[in-house]
Amino acid sequence: MKITQVKIHLVREDKLKAYASIVFDDCFIVNDLKVIKGKNGYFISMPSKKRKNGTYKDIAHPLNTETRRWIEETILREYGKISGEEVERTARTKESGEVKKGESKSKDSLDAVEEKLNDSFWSV
């Protein structure tokens, strides 16, 4: 499977920097991914919908760490080209959802974040 197209739509907000759409193998599109600038770098928020109780649930998301990393790096690389900004991906941890640039990541920590993402939405 390949990402065959990435579209970036810039926005002028403090934390939300852009919306992205990606196409897989020229036949499946995922819209409304968000490029977010957090305290320690950039990350991608998956498309989500608001529940009746006010929480958010992802409607599409990667099932493993490698796929999430691949999607984030692809989108952030394109965002960097379009925006002219130097962009570094933020790694994730169980506690805060983010770590400082360059810190190591453990598989257990990333698995815990993926589990948390299944039931919640990172607030911006």
| Alpha helices for 53-106 (secondary structure H) | 65-83
Residue 89 DSSP class: B
Q: Give the total number of structural domains in the chain.
A: 1
Q: What's the pLDDT score for residue 109?
A: 47
Does 124 map to a domain? no
d(CA 81, CA 78) in angstroms, rounded, equals: 5
Does 111 map to a domain? yes
Contact 110, 99 (CB under 8 A): no
Does 16 map to a domain? yes
Q: Range of 66's domain?
A: 3-117
Does 74 map to a domain? yes
Does 47 map to a domain? yes
Q: What is the pLDDT along the chain (124 residues), one digit of tens a residue?
A: 999 999 999 998 999 999 999 999 999 999 999 999 998 889 999 999 999 999 999 999 999 999 999 999 999 999 999 988 877 666 554 333 444 444 434 344 445 545 554 444 444 4
**CATH number, position 48:** 3.30.1120.40
